[in-house]
Structure 1
């Protein structure tokens, strides 16, 4: 009599345990949970040519050109050069770079005067060297928005020439003359770049920047003399629009 009763108890216990396990299984979720997205740190190192349309104030230069009976100098004009940059590994998304640019604009004309022809010219040239620090914001893959600032050391030169006839090296007397003016400047260069990595090895850039002089030297004349009354508007200050193509490693 005890055995049938024990069998009944064991059967009831098994049913209760199975029911409890079913309830626990109902609480479990078998839905697939998305894996966390893997984030990749920004890194880049590249070098390549850059081309800038530079827009300085040339109003006073054009007044000088008019006095020399020359056509106006055009603005903007092209600066060409190169830039190198590399990410700073221990500071996320920060990179350092170095760039150099140069370019010039000229006005040249042959004039007829009593006693023969005269060729006159006015040339305005810019040369800069800059150290940059930038911060890359990466909204999507391959695209980077890169604000930054640079410290720029640059030179402005103005060369006015008058040539009558031929120049004779062996003669001390000549109807030709030339005045060479030069000024050096220390500038701040805020800039904003939009960059797109076409491949992990090729990067394209479009950039806007503005050069602000913070310290300038006196103008010199023919290297050793002092130039007086040069208008303050003739400076490195100006807006630039730049494009660049870089090769390297871009993540």
Structure 2
């Protein structure tokens, strides 16, 4: 995720020397080029922040938590993912842009319990990360407005972490002894994904753009079967197929860069 942030900042910083030369600003703000059929050409180079609402299916997870007596409230969609994205137009292919992105977020349910006088907190955290590349086609119906159908591909990780414990421990309690009142379990898997997407982007200035986006994340394992790892060592079997990273996406974005449309 840090690498993604640095790359996005690099794209933005590329434009700083240009912005600093005020005497040439008028030359930079040029009229959008026209394609042969009269359509406005799309071109941009940019990096920025994305906020993603991911609508996962929690039904099987909630059923398991109820059956196992976790005593937690049900998980409900969406999960909020913080992310970054950078992209650039390809001059030799009109109206096509390519880019990269990363996003990560989590949701947690927890409760306070009392077991034989011991006051404990019990919880489960659901974490999701997505990293990938995008290819989009920009259609410009009017000046400053672009509609971009596209496809995103990449990889990600899904982690379920349950815990139970007291608010405070002594350092000597960090040992190999098994404690029935205090525990942590982590199940995780990795996957690949494909996202058909549609973005609507509006340039408020030649250097600042806002975005609205919808997509659907289809997740799959390249090997055919999802492989889950338990506590860094064990294979976790019989995980329901519906516990995956499929889901509808609604996203907004704030971008700095150069926008010529």
TM (normalized to structure 1)? 0.81
Contact 1:167 1:176 in 2 (8 A): no
Unaligned residue ranges in structure 1 (runs of 5+): 1-36
- What secondary structure does 2:65 align onto? helix
**RMSD over equivalenced CA pairs, Å:** 1.7
Residues 204 and 111 from structure 1, CA distance in 2 versus in 1: closer, same or farther, beyond 3 angstroms? same
- Are residues 1:148 and 2:154 paired? no
- Are residues 1:114 and 2:123 paired? no
Contact 1:181 1:221 in 2 (8 A): yes
1:229, distance to aligned residue in structure 2 (A): 1.6
Greater mean alpha carbon deviation, residues 136-145 or residues 72-81: 72-81
Number of the residue aligned with 1:99: 101
C-alpha distance in structure 2 between counterparts of 1:184 and 1:165, whole Å: 31
- What secondary structure does 2:172 align onto? coil
Number of the residue aligned with 1:53: 53
C-alpha distance in structure 1 between counterparts of 2:258 and 2:138, whole Å: 15
Number of the residue aligned with 2:71: 69
Number of the residue aligned with 2:249: 240
Count of paired positions: 215
- Are residues 1:192 and 2:192 paired? no
Q: Deviations over 1:162-192 (max 9, x none)?
A: 1146434323334311110000001111100
Number of the residue aligned with 1:157: 159
Number of the residue aligned with 1:211: 217
Structure (1 or 2) with the larger CA radius of gyration: 1
C-alpha distance in structure 1 between counterparts of 2:97 and 2:129, whole Å: 24
Residues 167 and 229 from structure 1, CA distance in 2 versus in 1: closer, same or farther, beyond 3 angstroms? farther
Q: Deviations over 1:74-95 (max 9, x none)?
A: 2112111110010011000000
- What secondary structure does 1:90 align onto? coil
Contact 1:41 1:93 in 2 (8 A): yes
Q: Deviations over 1:177-232 (max 9, x none)?
A: 11100000011111000011111111110000100113264000011111122111
Number of the residue aligned with 2:134: 132
1:38, distance to aligned residue in structure 2 (A): 6.7
- Are residues 1:250 and 2:259 paired? yes
Contact 2:33 2:41 in 1 (8 A): no
Number of the residue aligned with 1:231: 240
C-alpha distance in structure 2 between counterparts of 1:167 and 1:235, whole Å: 35
Number of the residue aligned with 2:44: 44
